Amino acid sequence: MHPDEITLGDVSITRVKEFYGSVEMTPAEFLPESPDGSWDEHRGWLEPDFRDPATGECRAALQTWLLRSEGRTILVDTGVGNHKDRPYARVWNRLDTDFLDNLAAAGVRPEDVDVVINTHLHIDHVGWNTRLDGRTWVPTFPNATYLMPQRDFEFWDPANEHRTVLGRGNQNVFEDSVRPVHEAGLTHLWDGSYRIDRNLRLDLAAGHTPGSSVLALESGGDRALFIGDLVHSAVQIVEPDTNSCFCENPAESRATRHKLLGHAAETNALVFPAHFGGHGAAEVERAGSKFAIKQWAPFPRIS
């Protein structure tokens, strides 16, 4: 068994690392709505996993959740990718990571993947959708169906000229990581809700982006929610009104976060944010109008 693998019901879940480290932003920049003093109040468990005590910068993981369910291999989000030109996101510009080797260490070759889920179409969730073949971006997972939220597909298509919070921060992303997959006929654009199998269902969870989604796992007596960027940092669990600076609709994002964290608390669902370092996921419980960490997932701490 892979050291970063757990099983919930009939579904196995493996964490596949791409990157872990500073996002080169302080809490005031990355999560500007976090209340004064909240990071210091919770320093005991926010550092070093979510804030570097030496530099004061936020830390995050780029990782893919690898699921095996009903005989199929499923990837949830695909990180930044290698060799991508990201002029307005310096920390992610032209990465060269061992992601595919890490995926192989989990027993998966690119051609083995059956389903790719992009919870939304930001720069750090679609990168490994494609790889560079000579000078051409081609689908990394040639036998997969790529599930993309239709609302995000339309929102991020440059031809539609939407004004976004990210501005140029998502530049080149649609062109090199979304369009090539769509033109290869591998995408399924969904809206509202989409049933993958008996264990897994996608639901719209808008706010961070118009098409942000959550993957709900229900198998046996176990439950989990893969919530993408609804929560970037654990401080947003104890302070759920806190948005990141990247939320397109702040009010909707807050409402969605409260709703889904409340659902997780009521159903004992394990919460899998896209970017948690440390143990990667957590169970949450209500704490008045807010939430608290009940316990961390049994993954080894990422380094």
Q: Which pLDDT score is estimated for 3?
A: 84
CATH number at residue 120: 3.60.15.10
Q: Which pLDDT score is estimated for 253?
A: 98
Please report, as a single letter, which amino acid is at residue 264: A
Domain assignment of residue 302, yes or no: no
DSSP helix/strand/coil, 87: coil
* Domain encompassing residue 182: 5-296
Nearest Cα neighbor of 190 from 152, 148, 227 is 148
pTM flag (> 0.95): yes
Domain assignment of residue 303, yes or no: no
Domain assignment of residue 100, yes or no: yes
Instruction: Please give the DSSP secondary-structure letter assigned to residue 48.
Output: T
Q: Which residue has the tokens 């948690």?
A: 276
What is the Cβ-side half-sphere exposure of residue 293, based on CA atoms within 13 angstroms? 16
Q: Which residue has the tokens 């979304």?
A: 178
Q: Which pLDDT score is estimated for 284?
A: 98
Q: Which pLDDT score is estimated for 1?
A: 75
Q: Which pLDDT score is estimated for 86?
A: 95
Q: Which pLDDT score is estimated for 167?
A: 87
Q: Which pLDDT score is estimated for 2?
A: 84
Domain assignment of residue 83, yes or no: yes
Phi-psi region of 12 (alpha: psi -120 to 50; beta: other; left: phi over 0): beta
Cis omega (within 30 of 0) on the bond before 48?
A: yes
Q: Which pLDDT score is estimated for 97?
A: 97
**How far from 138 is each of 134, 154, 180, 284, CA to CA, in Å?**
10, 21, 6, 39
Cα separation of the two ends of the chain: 20
Q: For 54-139, where are the alpha helices, taking DSSP H only?
A: 99-105
Which residues does the chain have with pLDDT short of 70?
none
What is the number of structural domains in the chain? 1
Q: Which helix (H) or strand (E) is 231 found in, with range?
A: none
Q: Which helix (H) or strand (E) is 212 found in, with range?
A: none
Q: Which pLDDT score is estimated for 36?
A: 85
Domain assignment of residue 251, yes or no: yes
Domain assignment of residue 301, yes or no: no
